[in-house]
Structure 1
Amino acid sequence: MNEGNIDWIVAIVALLAGIVIGVLIRHFSGSQRAASQKLKQRLAETELELKALRENVNTHFADITTLARNITRQSEELQSRLDRDADTMTSDPALKRHRQVESPEDSEADTTSLHVPRDYADSNGTLDESYGLRQKQEDDSTNPQPPRY
């Protein structure tokens, strides 16, 4: 064979080998793309499920809040009706006095007379900056101080 023909044969073999290697790389990377697409699809589905669950939780809490308000309103209505009926139907004066002592209006008036606790003191309180410090006197300088170790 001629040396020129060998160069052409090596070039054709190298080209065919490159094509085969490229096809193999494309084939193996294509499977990774398919797996990546599946993972993206599963992620999107999971996000949709999470969004739906959040909406369900929000509506659930809104419904519970509404029900709790209704129960509170109904209990207040029941209490007021019981108070009215007790006022109209009781004839025992001792029982009426007992109900007046237990009435919530009196307890609310007592709570308004209480003051709210403070986290600060008046001008000479324990939180004052000069609390516990003695004023230096001139005669303190004449007294010898004990040695400090």
Structure 2
Amino acid sequence: MEESNINWVLAIACLLAGVGIGALGYRLLDAGAGNVQRLRQRLAERDRQLAELRDGLGEHLERVGALTEALNRDGQALHREMAEASATLGATPPRKPDLTPSAPPDTGDGEDSPAAPRDYADGNRGTLSEDFGLKPGEASTPQPPRY
């Protein structure tokens, strides 16, 4: 009888181990399914938000188009009103100011006014002369040529 008891105990232990392993596997697979369910729910929420944004963008673009048309109409109305006002006030176009002087302005005695800038030097002692910048005692002494 001892052998039959051992067989029954072994069968019950295997049955309990199988039930435990099955429950653990079900729990792990069910957790993955719950994660998939949460991901699907988040995806559906994002799709709904994206649809709302698209609808809002469409409404915004329609409103901007209407405002642009109104601005265009107002600009045309302003142009017509200005044309009518200029026709009512007179048909001559407005005068442009005359910017050319008819006579040279009186500068006084001429000594106080600054001289006009020139692109040349006075006489032969200008900046392009060979002894420009030399002191009077430093006459041109011949120097050996530089190579």
TM-score over 0.5 for the alignment? yes
* Aligned counterparts of 2:25 and 2:91: Cα–Cα separation in 1: 99
Equivalent positions of 1:1-149 (< 5 A) are 1-92=1-92, 95=93
Partner amino acid, structure 1, of 2:32 = Q
In the other structure, the counterpart of 1:99 is: none
Q: Deviations over 1:16-75 (max 9, x none)?
A: 111010111111122222222221121111111111111111111000000000001111
* Aligned counterparts of 1:10 and 1:52: Cα–Cα separation in 2: 63
Q: CA RMSD in A?
A: 1.9
In the other structure, the counterpart of 1:113 is: none
In the other structure, the counterpart of 1:125 is: none
Q: Deviations over 1:74-114 (max 9, x none)?
A: 1111111111121121143xx29xxxxxxxxxxxxxxxxxx
Higher helix share: 1
* Structure 1 residues without counterparts, runs of 5 or longer: 97-149
Partner amino acid, structure 2, of 1:18 = G
Distance change (3 Å), C-alpha of 1:44 and 1:55: same
* Aligned counterparts of 1:91 and 1:18: Cα–Cα separation in 2: 107
Tell me which stretches of 4 or more aligned residues in structure 1 moved more than 4 Å. none
SS at match of 2:68: helix
Identity of aligned residues (%): 31
* Structure 2 residues without counterparts, runs of 5 or longer: 95-147
* Aligned counterparts of 2:77 and 2:35: Cα–Cα separation in 1: 63
* Aligned counterparts of 1:89 and 1:22: Cα–Cα separation in 2: 99
